Amino acid sequence: MMCFKFFSCRQIVLKVFLVQFLASLQTFAAPSPIIKFPGDDTSFTDKEVALHYLNKFYGCPKESCNLMVLKDTLKKMQKFFALPETGEIDQKTVEIMKKPRCGVPDVANYNFFHRKPKWGQKNVTYRILGHTPDLDEETIDDAFFRAFKVWSDVTPLKFTRIMDGEADIMINFGRNEHGDGYPFDGKDGLLAHAFAPGPGTGGDSHFDDDELWTLGEGQVVKVKYGNAEGEFCKFPFLFMGKEYNSCTSQGRDDGYLWCSTTYNFDEDGKYGFCPHELLFTLSGNADGAPCKFPFTFQGEKYDSCTTSGRDDGYRWCATTEDYDRDKTYGFCPETAMSTVGGNSEGAPCVFPYKFLGNTYDSCTTSGRSDGKMWCAVTKSFDDDRKWGFCPDQGYSLFLVAAHEFGHALGLEHSEDPGALMAPVYTFTKTLRLSNDDVKGIQELYGVPTDKPLPTELPPVTPMDVCNENIIFDAVAQIRGEIFFFTDRFLFRTADVRKKPTGPMLVATFWSELPEKIDAAYENPLEEKTVFFAGDEMWVYSASTLERDYPKKISSMGLPSDLHRIDAAYSFHKNKKTYLFAGNKFWRYNEAKKKMDPGYPKLIADSWSAVPDDLDAAVSLNSDVFSSGNHPCAAPWHFLASRSHVHVAGFCHDNIQTVSERSSGAHDWLEKVHAQKSDDLSKPAVFLRHGLQGCGEGEAGQQCRGPYSSCGPPLFFL
C-alpha cells in the first residue's frame, strides 16, 4: 500500500522562490562556447548531410557520388520536394534534408520496392512484438489500431491483431542496427521504416526507439494514484499561479513527481503521480512492482535503474534487493524528466548540474549550435560527460505508424506534400488522407465493398500554382520572400519575376498554426510574422511561436464580436498595419501597439474599387525588390491564376496622380506625395476570388487586367 503526504504550503513558497532565484542567476551566466557532445554525431557539414541523404534516399552511389551525378541527383531530390531545381547544396535544400523523415527511399524500386507488391488476401494480420517505454501499452496499441483503421476505412482490407506466431505485419521498436541491415540513427533524422508486402520481413514495420514517441504534442503521461488514477497529465497546468510544462516535485517534500490532470490545479485539485521507478515498473516478471534500491546484480550494488546485462539499452531494475537470488525485475518507466538520445540511455536529468563551470537548474541549449534543449544526468557534466536531450513535442506514433503501414501495404513515397505518404514528418492534429493516398491504396486493393464509403472526399493538393484554380487565403512578404497561403499549403518566391515554388505544408515552417489561416503579415518593426485564423492570432519570430500565443484578435483592439478578419498587410513606410473584415478596415499602429482612432472605416470610402470581403492583401517592400529598367520606377505587380484574377499594382505616377486628386488621403499617401521621391512605395495588392478587382488609394484606380495566363511568371514586372 502506497501513501503520500499532503501538500505542505510552507514548502511550496520556499521552493518556488528558490527556483526563481536560480533561474535569474542563470540569465547572467556568460554565454557558453559550442562544444562537441560525446556520443552526438549530429554535427555534419552541409555537404556531408547532402551526400549521406542522397545516398540513402536517392541511390547516389556512396563511393562515387561525384560532381556530375551529385548535381543530377540533387535536382531529382529538389523536384521531389518542389524546391528550386538548382542542383546546388543550398540552404533550402539542406533545411529539408535535416527534417525528420521515414527511412524508406524516395526513388521507386531503389531499395525496398519491386513490381507493385501487395497482399493477396483481404485479411491482414499484425503483431506488436515490443512497446516503447515512452507511452503506456494501451496508448501504443490504440495508436496502431487507429493507424490501420486509416487504411481499412478506404479499402476492403481487414486488420486483425494476433498475440503470437508469425503475423503478416510484425511491429517492433529498435535502436541503431536492429537486425535487418537498415540501422536507425539516434534521435531525430530517421523515425521508422517498413518493408513492402511479402513473406518473411515483408510488411514488417520498425520504429526508432531513440525518438520520443508521443501523440505529437509532448509527453503523454498517464498518472498513478493521487485522485485521478489512469488519467493523463494536462500540460501546461496551473499550480499556485504558475504554469508547469512537465511533472514537478514542487509543493512536496518527498521528491515524488506529480502533475495536474486538469489545467487549473488551484481550482480543480485533480492530480496524480507521474511514472517513476519507485512507483512501478513495466513488463518484466514482477507484475509491475516498484524498483528496490539498492539491489544486487552479479555481485554488484545498484542505486538506480541500469542497462547492465542488456544489449538493447533499456533501463531495468530488480524489484527485490537481490536479483541474483530472486530474479525478479521490471523495466523502468520513462519518468517525466527522462532524457532522449545523448549517451545516457534515457536516464533522467539531474538538477542542478554543472556545465563548463556554470550551474544549471533546468534544461538548456548552451553549448549547442542547433538550439536543442539538453541536460546532464549526473551532478556534473564537466566530470562525467553524461547527458541527454530533454523531452520535446516528440513524434506522433499514430501518424508515423499510419505512414509506415502505407508502405507495409505496398505504397511508395508521394511527391504530394499533403499526402500521408510524403516522406517528411509533419505533425497535424487531424489526419486526412489526401486524394493521392486514397487513389494509391485503392489502385492496389479497390474500394470498400462491405462498408459505406467515407462521405467526405479526400482533399486534392494544389500542385501547380499556375494551372489550377487556387484561392489564396493570405499573401505576405516574410523575410524578403513572398508567401502565398492556401489551406494548409504555401507557395513561395524570392523573385517576383519567377514562378513561386511549392506546394509545401505551412506546418513545415509554422507548426502550431491551424489548417487554414485567414491573413498574415510581417511586423515591420520587429521582423515577426503575424497570422490570423478565426478570432485568434499567432506571432512568430522565425519559426518559433511567441509565448502566450495564440491570443484573441480583440487583444489588438479589434471588436470582441468579430469572428475573423479577411486580410491584412503592413505598410513598411508608415509602419502601420491595415486589417480588413467584410466591408470595413482598421489601421493598427505597430509602434504604439494600438489601433489608430477613427477606425473602422468603410473600404468603399477609402479604397476606390477595392472590393469588400477580400481574400488577401499584401504590400511589397520596395527596398527588397528593385524594379530593374522597367519604365515604372516602382514595379507593377499582377497576380494571376488561370481563371481568378485578383490584381492591383501601380506605378508611382499613378499614386501621385491619385493623391493629388484626393483630399483626406491616407497618411502614407500623403507621405508618398510629400517625399516627391522616385523611390516611392507601392500600394497593396488586394486579392479576391471571382472578381477582377484592383484598386489603390482613396480616390482613383488604375486597373490592368485580367491577365489570364500565369505563363510562365506569376508576377509581371
Annotated binding site for Zn(2+): 102, 178, 180, 193, 206
- From the list 197, 224, 192, the residue with the least C-alpha distance to 207 is 192
Q: How far is the CB of 120 from Zn ion (least distance, A)?
A: 23
- CA–chain centroid gap for 234, Å, is 20
Between CA 106 and CA 196 the distance in angstroms is: 14
Q: How far is the CB of 234 from Zn ion (least distance, A)?
A: 32
Q: Which is nearer to Zn ion, 172 or 570 (CB)?
A: 172
Sign of the Cα torsion 389, 391, 392, 397 reads positive
Q: Which is nearer to Zn ion, 51 or 102 (CB)?
A: 102
Between CA 305 and CA 327 the distance in angstroms is: 15
The answer to whether 390 and 363 have CB atoms below 8 angstroms apart is yes
Q: How far is the CB of 102 from Zn ion (least distance, A)?
A: 3
Q: Which is nearer to Zn ion, 102 or 282 (CB)?
A: 102
> What residues are designated binding site for Ca(2+)?
134, 168, 185-186, 190, 202, 204, 208-209, 211, 473, 518, 520, 568, 615
Between CA 347 and CA 306 the distance in angstroms is: 9
Q: Is 650 exposed, middle or buried (0-12, 13-18, 19+ CB in 10 A)?
A: buried
Give Cβ neighbours of residue 409 (< 8 Å, ≥ 6 apart).
118, 119, 124, 151, 157, 197, 203, 441, 444, 445
Q: Which is nearer to Zn ion, 180 or 623 (CB)?
A: 180
- Please report the DSSP string for 607-637 in residue order: STT--SS-SEEEE--TTT---TT-SSSS---
Residue tagged 531495468 (cell numbers): 316
Q: How far is the CB of 109 from Zn ion (least distance, A)?
A: 15
Residue tagged 506529480 (cell numbers): 258
Q: How far is the CB of 282 from Zn ion (least distance, A)?
A: 23
Q: Which is nearer to Zn ion, 138 or 180 (CB)?
A: 180
Give the length of the chain: 717
Q: Three cell numbers at 127?
A: 503483431
Q: How far is the CB of 174 from Zn ion (least distance, A)?
A: 6
Between CA 49 and CA 46 the distance in angstroms is: 5
Q: Which is nearer to Zn ion, 25 or 129 (CB)?
A: 129
Using alpha carbons, list the distances in angstroms from residue 370 to 96, 365, 396: 15, 8, 22
> What residues are designated binding site?
102, 134, 168, 178, 180, 185-186, 190, 193, 202, 204, 206, 208-209, 211, 473, 518, 520, 568, 615
Q: Three cell numbers at 506?
A: 505551412
Give the CB-side neighbour count of residue 618, counting CA atoms within 13 A. 27
Q: Which is nearer to Zn ion, 113 or 588 (CB)?
A: 113
Q: What share of the chain is helix, strand, coil (3-state, %, to 5)?
A: 20, 20, 60
Residue 515 annotated to the active site? no
Q: Which is nearer to Zn ion, 179 or 711 (CB)?
A: 179
Using alpha carbons, list the distances in angstroms from residue 643 to 229, 368, 479, 686, 691: 58, 50, 29, 16, 10
Q: Three cell numbers at 6?
A: 499532503
The answer to whether 4 and 254 have CB atoms below 8 angstroms apart is yes
Q: How far is the CB of 412 from Zn ion (least distance, A)?
A: 8
Q: How far is the CB of 464 from Zn ion (least distance, A)?
A: 24
Taking CB atoms, the residue at the shortest distance from Zn ion is: 102
User: Does residue 550 have a cis peptide bond before it, meaning omega lies within 30 degrees of 0?
Assistant: yes
The H or E element containing residue 29 is none
The secondary structure of 442-490, three-state, reads HHHHCCCCCCCCCCCCCCCCCCCCCCCCCCCCEEEEECCEEEEEECCEE
48, 63, 137, 231: which is the annotated catalytic residue? 231
Between CA 645 and CA 705 the distance in angstroms is: 8
Q: Which is nearer to Zn ion, 224 or 413 (CB)?
A: 413
Enumerate binding residues for Zn ion (CB under 5 A).
Answer: 102, 104, 180, 206
Between CA 224 and CA 235 the distance in angstroms is: 16
Q: How far is the CB of 107 from Zn ion (least distance, A)?
A: 12
Question: Which amino acids are annotated catalytic?
Answer: 231
